[in-house]
Structures are given as structure tokens and as C-alpha cells.
Structure 1
Amino acid sequence: MSSPVLSLSAGQIRRRPASFAGLGTALFLAVAVVTLFGSLVAAQVTAPAAVARTAVSGPGLVLIAGAFGEIAVLVALFVVVNALGFTLRQQHRDLALLRTVAATPRQVRRVVRAQVVATTLLVSGPGGLVGFLAARAFLAALQRRGMAAPGLRIPGAPVPALIGLAVALLVGLAASAVAARRITRPAPAAALTEGAGGPRRTPVPRVLAGLAVLAGGGLLLRLAASRPAGELDKAGQAALLGSLVLLVAVGLLGPVAARVLAAVLGAPARVLAPRAGWLADANLRGYAARLSSAVVPVALLVGLSGTLLVLTGTAEHVVRATGAATSVTKQSDIWLREAELGMLVCFAAVSTVNTLVALTADRRREFALLRLVGATRRQLLRMLGVEAVLTTAIGVLLGAAVAAAASGAFSLAVTGSVVPVVPGAACGWVVLGAVVLTVPGIVGTGLWAVGGSAVETTGGERG
């Protein structure tokens, strides 16, 4: 790779550390989670025959790693794709400027690929180490509960970490190839007119892809709903996987859904807070791609957490009512579900905080321009507060819709009714967690973003 490409890539990373910190964290989590579950499988595969044949309670280490890894890896990769799309939108204007000074589309794509490779290599070492240590801790916890053979040990070979690095690179490069097309496909002047907020209209291919994924999620939920009443575990797995596919559809259709919900929720905001509400509503509806980047992590947090909580509550209700023998009633499996929920919430929470902080920090020039036309810092913070509340509400509504669809399909299979058992207190804590992660993240970063000299900020670079 040529030196100018490396210099341009390094320069973008230095100028936008907040944006690349989010991408780096997402890639770090992807490498760590692949290393974690790959190490568990390696521990079972490389164990002596006598140890491998030891009887244990539960499904066995390979099945646990596969079931956990399937969902966790998909969530981690989803977070990577969302973070990368956000990072490229933040440097859209800079990359478009390269094309106006005779850079070819191929050279721009090479700059983007170099950024992904550099970020992945930077986090691969720490990610692999954390994944290895997490695998040892997780295996020890399984052994204490009799779910893994006492003689199993995590091997010290770097193969799982290398696989994690390869997976993160493949996903990052594939996502960058798709995301870079929005910059390299149109003419340079047309690409330059699109700001970091994204195009006014959602591209038709993205809408079609979102509708196709939405249909796939619907088929998975139909499969979950058609399971016999006695197959609680299989129905739950299909419903959980269906919820994840629906969340991918939310990511693709996010700008469309966010714009519609912003229009609905923005009306009362204009009434309750005429000035700040008007500005917040105009910002959210005018920059649908930016709003989508903010609400998708919130929807991921609420959708996955809500689905797991409602599925568990409904299954336990059925078990108490019928006395059916199922893994739902086993303490070891309850612990596994709690561990899975904690891991997924961690991914979603990190994605939410990283995206919102970087998104708000990148708006310094916008805030400075508003101050130059008469807005005060207090008014801008009020506007950000309203935006934070609306962003949280939109993300919670989208996530709740996914959780309702998945849990409704599961409930139909196991109870014959689409109305599941909802643990109100637990779901309330999920919503509160979304609020705590979102509102302080936006307003707190806004305190810094609205500071400094407005004239100097507007005269300097964005972000």
C-alpha cells in the first residue's frame, strides 16, 4: 500500500479520534468475543480423550460455546458494521474533497481500507488477550457449576485470536466496500454536496435490502410461532435469532423509520418546548442518517434485552403452569441466560455510548454557527436535551417493537396467545438504562461541544 494512502489514512484517524475510537471499540469487542468462544471450543477439542468424555450437566462445552457464540458474534459484527458506517459518514466531506483534487475512486477506497486495517490491527492484540482471559474465567465458572469437565484447560495457542482478527478484518473490509460506494459512485461535485448527515433520501438499494431482511426476520418468527408447545427451547432460539435479524432490518431501514417517528414525536416537543423543541425536531428530521446512527444502538440494547427478558418470563410462566421438564427451570441454564444477557447488554451499551458521544462531538461547528446567529449556550443545551429525549424515545420504540414481535411469536407457540408474560420491573430497568446511557451521553458531550470561541470553531475543521 502506497505511502500517500497510509499518510491520508493516518491523518484522518488523528483528526477524528472520537469517531475511530467507536470503530476501534467495536472491532475490539468482535476480536475478543470470537477469541473467547473459539478458545472454549479449542479447550474441548484439544483435551485428552479421558477428559473430553467426562460426563457433565448441561449441553456440553461445544454446544454452549456455539449457542453463545452464534448470537454474541452476530451482535458484535452488527455493532462493527454500524460503527464503520458512522465513521465513514463523519469523514464524508473530507473523502469527497479528495476526489475533487483528482483522487480516483480506487484511491479513496484504498484510504478507507487502510483505515479499517490499521484500526483492526491496533485493537487485535488487546482484543485477543481479553478474549483469552475471558475464556479462562468463563470456563472456570462453568466448571464450578459442573457444566464443563474439571480437567479442561484453555490452550495457549494463538489460533482463536488469529481467527478473531481474520473475522474482524473480513467484516470490516466488506462493510467498508459497501459504505465507500456512496462516496466513490457519484461525481465528485455531487459527493461533496452531501454532508456528514447523509443524503436527504435513503438509497433505494438500502431500502430494498432492509425489506428483504425484514421479510427474513418475519420468516424466522413464523418458524418460532409454529413450534409445538413442548419445544420451548427451540422456539426461544428461533425467536431470539429472529429478533436479531429484525434489528439488522432496523439498521438498514433506520433513516426511514427514524424520520417517521421523529415527525410523530416532534409535534409534542414543539408544543412543550417551542424554541428548543422546534430546533431539535428540525435537526432530527433534517438529518435522518445521523439520527439513525444514534437510535440503532439504543434499539439494539432495548430489543435484545427486552426479548431475552420477556422470553424467559413467558417460558417460566408456562413451566409453572404445566410442570413441563425444560432447561428453563434449571439453575445452571438460568445462569447461562443471565450471562448471555449481560454480554449482549455490554455490547449494546458500549455501542450506544461510543456512537452518541462521537456524534455529538462532531457537531461543534454546527453549534458554533448557531451561536453566531444568536443562540446562547443554554439554548443549545436545551435543544440537545430535547434531542436526547426524542432519540431515546425513538430507539426505545423501535427496540420495543422488535421485542414485542419476537416474544409474541414465542408466546403463540408455547401458550397459544400472542400476548406474552412481560416482567414489568425488569423491562423498566432496561428502559431506564437506555435513558441513562443516552441522555447524559448527549448532553454531557454537548457541554464540551458548545464551548470555546464560535469564530475559531467555524473557521477551523469540523469535529
Structure 2
Amino acid sequence: MLSLALRSLRHRATAFVASFLAMLLGAVMIMSFASMLDTAGGTGVSDANVETLVTMASVVGGWSLILVLFAVTSTLSLAVRQRATEMALLKSIGATPAQLRRMILGETAVLAVAAVALAVLPGMLGGRALLALLIDTEQVAPDVTHVFGPAALSMGCGITFVAAVGSAVLTARRTTGLRVTESLMDATAEPRRMSRKRLVGGIVFLLLAADLAVVTATVMHGEGSDAMQTAGQTSIWASIGFALLGPVLVRRVAGLPAAPLERFGGAAGHLTVQNVRQRAHQMAGALMPIILFTGIATGTLYMQDVDSAAIAAEGLLKNDEQKSIETLNFVVIGMVVLFAAIMLINTLVATTTYRRGEFGRQRLTGATPGQVLAMVTLESAVLTVTGVLFGAVASLFTILPFTFARTDTVLPDSGPGTFLAIVAVAAVLTMAASLATAVRALRIPAIEAAAV
């Protein structure tokens, strides 16, 4: 099965790009932040500098781990889901569930090893850039030298490998547990219901976000910038919760404009409505990074703006701790923007490329290339609106309780400019990735594409 896994990777490289990039980016982020632990252990580093470096490594590095684990699991699930027919055929010729699990684990392990190996140099450069940022903002002394050592290598390699293999185990369980007939049916039609584990997971994350929001508004009320310790987490937990509930959101919320689309959208509108109804799980994979990007970026930026305004209103200057918190927040935003943007593009490219056969069959039944592109455009618009909507709701778990805890008011004084900029970036990335991939797919002759 290892030999089969290697041949599968070689001949199906495109299908594994999304998972590989998730592992690679994750390893780079973890190594970059973990190198702060190596740097803190260097000679001549003061206690104050050690505290700053350890905080940067533990807080931001911890969130990196959560986002990486979530992204790897999502992309692996998408890759295995797209290979449902292949899995069914392997079962029909005698492959056992254990053999299929070993094949999936073998593919994932090879990807993880390659990703970790390629992540070392970017991780080293990222750690140096991070330390330079801390020095430029006067949070770390200029004489501190960057060290990339055992902590960065062990955590980057170990965490990435464990996260990848763990995600592969979770992904393989459902696919290998089905019978041959069930696998064949699963390959031709999406499940009508979301799994109970995913539903429970989404609800648990939302409840955790709600709990932290209450703690922020009550226990942390009047604690100044310290309220960020709980408020900053809430939009992350809420975003993950909504992302897990993606299939339900696509069917329920994204299906609301079905009637106007079918009535006024012509053939493209009709195709869009059918895809929203029939491909909810695949569309939910693309919805995930939009929600994460919108929710975490909006929540963190507005939280920082509220805190900065409160400090200015008090006539105070930011102390070293507040500067450190502000830098942490902007590093989180930079990390989330880069990671979510790449994952959004990556996921959309993977899902749209996989639909070449669907596009070919649509063209053979009378749809024009223009109608197919219009369908992809409308789908991207539906995804963007849905992702931005629930990302905005997730951000409120941070913004409202923190504003109350910090200023005794519910709504921040900040205008909508920041949110509109975030929405614009999400829309541009979604549209560009989907349409560019669809245009390339439509260059293939319809008969050839339908046979894929």
C-alpha cells in the first residue's frame, strides 16, 4: 500500500496540493514562532526579553497550531472525498479497509515529511523577521540574536507530522468504514446530512465562544487591555464553529436567494441553485477560509482599535506591555490573512479543478462556456456573502463584549471602513481563484473534459 500511495502521489499531484500547502505553511509558522523559544534560551538574554519571546511563541504559536490542524483536516477530507470513486473501485477488487487506511496514511506521511523538509529555510527566515519586528517595536533589546535550534525543529517537525497523521486517521475512518455499495453511492452523491460529530463540534466551539464572551463582559470588565486575553479568543472559536457547520450554512442560508436566481439568473442562475443544493459539502470546504479570514481579522482589528482609542481617551501613552499586545494582535492578523488567503485560493483551485468533468458534461448538454463562467461567478458570490455574513457574526463575539468591558458601551466608535476592506479582499480572492481556474478548465474540449 505504501508503493500504491507513492504512485498515487505521483500521478495525482494536483489533488494533494491543497493538503501539502496547508502542511508546509503550518510548519513554517510553527517553526518561526517556536524559534522564539530557542532565542529566549540564548546567552545574555534578560528576563524581560525572555518573557516577551516566550509569550510570542506560546500565544501566537498556539493559535497557529489550531488553525493548521483545522486546515489540514479540511483539505485532507476534501482530497479523500474527491477520490470516492477510486476508493470504491479499490474495495470492489478486494482492498480491505485496513489497506486503504495504510494507503491514506502513507500518502499523508510522505506529504508531511516533504512539507517539513521544505519548511526549514522559510521557518528560519520567518523567525528572523519576527525577531526584527520585536526589536523595531522596542519590545526586545537590539543585542538579542536569533537562534533557530532544537525547539523550532522538534516542534515544527513533530507537531506538523502529528497533526497531519491525526487528520489522516480521522479522514480515513469514514471512507474506509463504508461497504462497497455504500462507497459507490457516496462517490456519485453527497451525503444529505452532516455528520453528528461535525455538528456537535460546531456547537461546542460556538458555546465556548459564547462562554468567553460572557467572561469578557463580566469578569474582565474594567480590567483595561487585559480583557484582550479572553476577548481575542472568542472570534477564533466562533469562526471555527461556524466553519464546522458549513454544510448547514450553505444549504440553509446560501439557499435563500434560490428563487430570485432561478427567476432572473437564467441558465447560470438555475445551475447555481442546483449546485448549492447538491454540492453543499464541497462548497463548505471553500466557505471555511472565508469565515476564518473575515471573523478573526475583523474581530482582532476592531478590538485593537477600541483599545487604542480607550488609551488615547485616558490621555495615556502605551506602555511596553500594551505595545507587546498590539504587536501580537497585528502578527495574528498578518498570520491569519496570509494563511487564510492562501488556503482560500488553494481550496477554490482544488475544488474548481476537480469540476472539469462537470463543466464538460454541462457543455455537452447545451451550456455555453459563458454560462458556465456565469455559474461559477454566482457561486463565488454566494460563498462570499455567506462567509462574510457568518465571519461578521463571529467577530461580534469579540467586538461587543470587549467594547463593553473596555468602554462601558456596546458598540465601538470605529467606522465600517476596516470591515469593508476585509470584505473586498475576501471577494477579490474568491472571485479571482474561482474564475481563473474555471477559465483554464474550459480550455479543455468538452468531450475530453467529460471523460475525466
SS at match of 1:21: helix
Where does residue 458 of structure 1 map in the other structure?
450
| Counterpart check, 1:52 vs 2:52 | no
Deviation at residue 155 of structure 1 after TM alignment = 2.9
2:237 to 245, 248, 251: 245
| Cα distance in structure 2, aligned partners of 1:98 and 1:365 | 21
Partner of 1:295: 287
Asked if 1 retains the 8 angstrom alpha-carbon contact of 2:69 and 2:167, the reply is: no
* Alignment deviations for residues 79-132 of structure 1 (CA, whole Å, 9 cap, x no partner): 222222222212222122211211111111111101110111111112122111
CA distance, structure 1, for counterparts of residue 97 and residue 10 of structure 2: 22
**1:22 alignment partner in structure 2:** 18
Residue number in structure 2 paired with 1:444 = 436
Offset of residue 293 of structure 1: 0.4
1:21 is aligned with what amino acid?
V
* CA drift at 1:207: 1.4
Match of 1:10 in 2: 6
Task: Give 1:362 deviation, angstroms.
Answer: 0.4
Look up the equivalent residue of 1:10 and give its one-letter code: L
Q: Deviations over 1:242-277 (max 9, x none)?
A: 221122212321111121111113333334413211
Residue type at the aligned position of 1:369: R
Q: CA deviation at 1:339?
A: 2.9
Q: Name 1:282's counterpart in structure 2.
A: 274
Aligned to 1:36: 32
Higher mean C-alpha displacement, 326-335 vs 132-141: 326-335
**In structure 2, which of residues 249, 255, 260 is the aligned counterpart of residue 263 of structure 1?**
255
- Compute the displacement of 1:307 (Å): 0.7
Distance in structure 2 (CA, Å) of the matches to 1:87 and 1:249? 22
Where do 5+ consecutive residues of structure 2 fail to align? none
Q: How does 1:419-438 map to 2 (within 5 A)?
A: 419-438=411-430
| Contact residue 364 and residue 449 of structure 1 kept, 8 A | yes
Equivalent position of 1:195 in the other structure: 187
The 5 A counterparts of 1:1-400 are 5-45=1-41, 47-48=42-43, 51-53=44-46, 60-195=52-187, 198-323=190-315, 333-400=325-392
How many residues were matched structurally? 452
Q: Cα gap change, 1:417/1:366 in structure 2, threshold over 3 Å: closer, same or farther?
A: same
Following TM superposition, by how much is the alpha carbon of 1:181 offset from its aligned partner in structure 2, in angstroms? 1.9
Offset at 1:331? 5.4
How far, CA to CA, are the matches of 2:148 and 2:326 in structure 1? 30
- How far residue 448 of structure 1 moved from its aligned partner, in angstroms, is 1.2
Shift of the 421–117 alpha-carbon distance from structure 1 to 2, 3 Å rule, reads farther
Residues of 1 paired with 2:10 and 2:217: CA distance? 50
1:16 CA drift (Å): 3.1
The one-letter code matched in structure 2 to 1:42 is D
Deviation at 1:384, TM superposition (A): 0.9
* Residue range with higher mean Cα deviation, 68-77 or 388-397: 68-77
Q: Give the letter for the 2:77 counterpart.
A: G
Residue 343 of structure 1: how far off its partner (Å): 1.7
Return closer, same or farther for 1:258/1:43 CA change in 2, 3 Å cut-off: same
**Measured at CA, do residues 328 and 163 of structure 1 come closer, stay the same or move farther in structure 2, by a change above 3 Å?**
closer
Give the counterpart letter for 2:371 in structure 1. Q
User: Aligned partners of 1:290, 1:328: CA distance in 2, in Å?
Assistant: 46
Distance 2:433 2:320 in 1: 36
Distance 1:265 1:328 in 2: 50
| In 2, Cα distance between equivalents of 1:328 and 1:419 | 28
Instruction: Check whether the contact 1:31–1:164 (CA below 8 A) recurs between aligned residues.
Output: yes
Amino acid in the other structure paired with 1:53: S
User: Is the CA contact (8 Å cut-off) linking 1:227 and 1:234 kept in structure 2?
Assistant: no
* Contact 1:313/1:421 (<8 A) preserved: no
Q: CA deviation at 1:164?
A: 1.0
**Does the aligned pair in 1 maintain the 2:139–2:323 contact within 8 Å?**
no
SS at the partner of 2:254?
Answer: helix
1:412 to 404, 408, 414: 404
SS at match of 1:169: helix
Give the drift of 1:402: 0.4
For residues 371-428 of structure 1, give each alpha carbon's deviation from its aligned partner in whole angstroms, at most 9, with x where no partner exists.
Answer: 1111111111111111111111111111111012221122232233432344421211
In structure 1, list runs of 5 or more residues that go unmatched: none
Greater Cα offset, 340-349 or 192-201: 192-201
Does structure 2 retain, via aligned residues, the 8 Å contact 1:55–1:149? no
Q: Decide whether the 8 Å contact of 1:19 with 1:358 is kept in 2.
A: yes
CA distance in 2, matches of 1:455, 1:253: 37
The CA distance in 1 between the partners of 2:168 and 2:111, in whole Å, is 13
Q: 1:100 to 1:232 in 2, by over 3 A?
A: farther
Q: Check 1:380–1:62 CA distance in 2 against 1; reply closer, same or farther (3 A cut).
A: same
Give the partner amino acid of 2:339. Answer: F
Amino acid at match of 2:60: F
Is the 8 Å Cα contact of residues 266 and 390 (structure 1) preserved in structure 2? Answer: no
Structure 2 vs 1, CA of residues 269 and 296 (structure 1 numbering), >3 Å: closer, same or farther? same
Distance 1:55 1:246 in 2: 33
State the Cα distance separating 1:156 from its structure 2 match: 4.5
RMSD: 2.2
Cα gap change, 1:281 to 1:335, in 2 (>3 Å): same
Task: Provide closer, same or farther for how the CA distance between residues 335 and 159 of structure 1 changes in structure 2, counting only shifts above 3 A.
Answer: closer
